[in-house]
Amino acid sequence: MVSLVKAEFGDCSEIHRMQVESFNSLLLKYQDFETSPAAESLERIRDKMRSSDYYFIVLNDKVKIGAIRII
């Protein structure tokens, strides 16, 4: 079962870590430092969190497998 769980402001570091891990290989391949989510700073995630909502994508009520931003 897959569910969405609203992230709190304190989750910014975890969201950033997940984003870097997920997109780093593409960043290294394409060198798209200005547009890649892997190159986005933690502070930018915090700014986005202030103006929108993030939700963790959770598998079987246990494992966070990703995140989505809702504007």
pLDDT category at 6 given cuts 50, 70, 90 is: very high
> Which residue intervals of the chain are DSSP H helices?
12-30, 42-51
Residue-wise pLDDT tens digits, 23-69 = 999 999 999 999 999 999 999 999 999 999 999 999 999 999 999 99
Asked if 56 and 1 touch (Cβ cutoff 8 Å), the reply is no
Sequence-ordered list of residues with C-beta below 8 angstroms from that of 61, at least 6 positions apart, any chain = 1, 3
The predicted structure's pLDDT at residue 17: 98
